[in-house]
Structure 1
Amino acid sequence: MDDERLAQVASWYYEEGLDQGAIARRLGCSRSMVSRYLKEARARGLVEIRIRHPLKTDPRLEEALRAAFSLREAWVLGNPPAGDRLRLRRLGELGAQALQRRLRPGIRIGLSWGTAVYEVVRAMPEIPLKGAQVIQIIGALGAGDPMIDGPELARWLAEKLEAPVRHLHAPLLVESEAVAQALRHERTIAETLALARKVHVALIGIGSVDPRLSSLRRAGYLRESELEALRAAGAVGDVLARALDAEGNPLDHPLNRRVIGLELEALRRIPTVIAVAGGAAKAPAIRAALRGGYVDVLVTDAEAAAAVLAMEGALAYA
C-alpha cells in the first residue's frame, strides 16, 4: 500500500477513532490486515505517537528557590524520573511551558546549546509568531551530536515559530585568546553578538565540570585533565561555556577568554533568562549560576532544588 493510503488508514484509526473492524469493512479486508497497515504506517514514519505525562511540580521548593535567590520564577519537577534521559525530557517539557508564557509577536529569543535546550525545543509546539526572531548566542560546537548544537537548535525553534534565524558563524572555543579577539571583531560575528545582546528572552543550559556530565568534554573541547585543572582553579560549572566559581564569578582563566559568544555581563542585562538544568550532581553548578545573577527563571527538579537549597543553607526547605 502506498504512503497516501497508509496515512488515510492511520487517520481513520488515530484521528477519527474508528476501530480496526470498521476500517476493515471500509477496505474490504481482514482486521489483521488493518493491524499490519497501521504497523507499516508507523514504520514508515507516517505516524508519530506522543504521550503527554502530567508534570507534577513542587510549589514548596519553588517558593524556597524564589526566596533564596530572588528569582522571578522557579519551576521544580516533583518526583523526577530516576533515569537521566527521561528526567531531562520532562524538564524540557517544563521549560517549553515557561518559554511559551513569554511568547509574543516581535519577540527576539536567544538560544545557547546542549541537551537541556534541545529538550525544550523538542517539546515546543508549532506557534507562528509575527515578527519574531531566533538568535544563536554562542558559537557552534562543530563536533559530537549536531542536534544539540546551537545552529541546529536555533534553526529548529525558528522553524516552529515560523521566524527568521540569525546564526553566529563562529566556533564555540578557539585555540587562543588572540584568535578569539580577532573573531569577535569580524563584522558578521560582531553584528550577531550585538543582536544577541538585545534579545528579550534567552534560553540556556548550565554546564558542569564533572567529567560524567560535562558537555564540553563530550564534544571534545576539553580533556579530563583540563577539567581537573578547572576544578583545581575553583570551577564548579559553566554558563555560556564560561567557567564559574562557587559564587558565580567567572574564573580568570584562558578558557573563558577563548569563548566566542554572548558575554556574561550582557546575559545579566537580558530581560528574561530561562535556565534548564537538573539532577543533584549539577547542584553546585546551578547554585553558582543563581549566585552569579545570570538566571531569572529556573527550571529544575526536586532533587537538584533540595541540594541547591541545602548548599545555600536554606535547610528548612531542603
Structure 2
Amino acid sequence: MLNVHALIAIQQQLLPDLLVVMRKRYLILRQVMLSDMIGRRSLATSLEMTERVLRAETDFLKAQELLIIDAAGMRISEAGKRLLEEMEPLYKAMFGLSELEEKIRKYFGLQQVVIVSGDSDESLVTRRELGRAGCAVLAKAMGNSDVVAVTGGSTLAQVANQLSSQTPLKGNLFVPARGGLGESLDYQANTIASTMAKRTGAQYRMLHVPDHLGEEAYTSLMQEPNVREIVEVIRSARIVIHGIGDAMVMARRRRVDDTVVEAMKAEGALAESFGYYFDRNGAVVHKMLTAGLRLEDIMDTEVVIAIAGGRSKGEAIAAVMRFGHDDVLVTDESAALEIAAIIDKELSNV
C-alpha cells in the first residue's frame, strides 16, 4: 500500500493542479476559521486573491457545507473545522512541513516540533495559528493538577486568547514565570496567566513585582513571606511555556541600561527567553535578577514548550534551542526555513 508521501509524489506528477486547488481551499477554510467571521473582500485581500476567484471557491465550499455564508459574512461550519483538523497532517506532508519538522526535531534533540504555514512577522492570521497550535500542544501536555508557568509577550498572549472552555483544565494552576510590572499590561506574564486560567476554568496566582530587580531589592522582596510562597509555587511548575525574542529588542523594551546593552552586544547576545540572554551557541551571556523561574528551575522542569515565529526570529530560536532544555518547539514556516538554513550551514562545515 502506498504511504502518504508516495501518493503525494504521484499526484504532483500526474495531477499537479489538484494540489494547487486543495491548498487554495485549505487556506480559505483556515483563514475563515481563524477570523471567526469575515467578509469576502477582507478575505480576498488577506489571501491575495481576486474576489471573482474567491467567490467561485467559497460558493463551492458552501455547497459542500464547509462554509456558512450570510449577510454578516462567512464563518466555518463544524464540518469545515473537522475537515481542517483531518487535513492538517496531509497538508504538512504535501508542502514539506512534515520533513522540516523532523529535520529541526532531530538536529536539536527535541521531542516534538510543530510548524504552521506563513510568517508571523507579516500575517496576523499566522500569529493566531501559532497561538492555536500552542494551545493544542499545551492541552496535550497537561494533566489534571499541573502547575504551568507562563512568560509574557505577544506570542503567549495569542496562545491565551486561543484557549477556550472546550479545553477543561479546572484542576490546574497557571502562574507567571516571573514578575512583569513595567511592561505593557496585555503582554505581562500575570495577565497571560490569568487569561489562560479564566478561559479554561483553571486557577491562577499572580506575582506583583517588577520584571528586573537590583540585588538589594531582590534580597528584600525574597524575605517577604507572601512573595517567597508564590515564588516557590512558580519554581515547582511541571510545565513551562515561553516565548523567544531578539536580545537587543527585548533589552530596549525592558529599558535595560545602555552600558549593560553594550556589554551584552560585546558578549554576543542574540536571543532572550525567560529573562536570560543567549549567544548563537546557546550559552547564557547575561541574566537579570528576577523573582520567579531561575535557569536551574528550567533545567529541572518536566515539560518546556517554546512558542515563537517570524523570519526575523529564526536565529534567536535556533540559539535558544541550542541551550538544550526545551522539549517542544511551536513555530511558523518562515522561521523554520531560517532555522533549516542555519542547520544546513553548520552541517556543511562539519
| TM-score normalized with structure 1 length | 0.74
TM-aligned CA distance change 1:203 to 1:116, over 3 Å: same
Unaligned runs of 5+ in 1: 1-13, 15-34, 40-48
Which residue does 1:46 correspond to in 2? none
> Shift of the alpha carbon at 1:315?
7.1
Q: Are 1:246 and 1:287, in contact at CA under 8 Å, matched by a contact in 2?
A: yes
Cα distance in structure 2, aligned partners of 1:50 and 1:243: 42
Unaligned runs of 5+ in 2: 1-36, 38-70
What one-letter code is carried by the residue in structure 2 that aligns with 1:217? R
Aligned equivalent of 1:70, options 105, 109, 114: 109
Identity in percent: 27
Aligned equivalent of 1:139, options 158, 176, 179: 179
Aligned equivalent of 2:283, options 245, 249, 253: 249
- 1:227-265 residue CA offsets vs partner (Å, 9 max, x unmatched): 4442222101111121112222222x4xx2433320122
Which residue does 2:24 correspond to in 1? none
Is it true that 1:235 corresponds to 2:273 in the alignment? no
Q: What is the 5 A alignment of 1:269-284?
A: 269-284=300-315
Which residue does 2:200 correspond to in 1? 161
Aligned equivalent of 1:184, options 205, 209, 222: 222
Cα distance in structure 1, aligned partners of 2:332 and 2:232: 33
Which residue does 1:99 correspond to in 2? 138
SS of the residue 1:113 aligns to: coil
Q: Are 1:177 and 1:257, in contact at CA under 8 Å, matched by a contact in 2?
A: no
Is it true that 1:123 corresponds to 2:162 in the alignment? yes
> Shift of the alpha carbon at 1:134?
1.0
- 1:283-306 residue CA offsets vs partner (Å, 9 max, x unmatched): 222112111123110001122122
Aligned equivalent of 1:207, options 245, 257, 267: 245
TM-aligned CA distance change 1:284 to 1:294, over 3 Å: same
> Shift of the alpha carbon at 1:203?
1.1
Cα distance in structure 2, aligned partners of 1:222 and 1:50: 45
> Shift of the alpha carbon at 1:282?
1.1
Aligned equivalent of 2:327, options 296, 303, 310: 296
Cα distance in structure 2, aligned partners of 1:247 and 1:196: 28
Cα distance in structure 2, aligned partners of 1:286 and 1:207: 8
Which residue does 1:305 correspond to in 2? 336
What one-letter code is carried by the residue in structure 2 that aligns with 1:309? A
TM-aligned CA distance change 1:79 to 1:129, over 3 Å: closer
- 1:203-241 residue CA offsets vs partner (Å, 9 max, x unmatched): 110121243xx3x523x4236775444222210111112
TM-aligned CA distance change 1:187 to 1:309, over 3 Å: farther
> Shift of the alpha carbon at 1:314?
6.3
> Shift of the alpha carbon at 1:63?
0.4
What one-letter code is carried by the residue in structure 2 that aligns with 1:106? S
Higher helix share: 2
Q: Once structures 1 and 2 are overlaid, which stretch shifts more, 301-310 or 231-240?
A: 301-310
SS of the residue 2:208 aligns to: coil
Cα distance in structure 1, aligned partners of 2:111 and 2:223: 34
| TM-score normalized with structure 2 length | 0.68
Alpha-carbon RMSD across the aligned residues, in angstroms, is 3.0
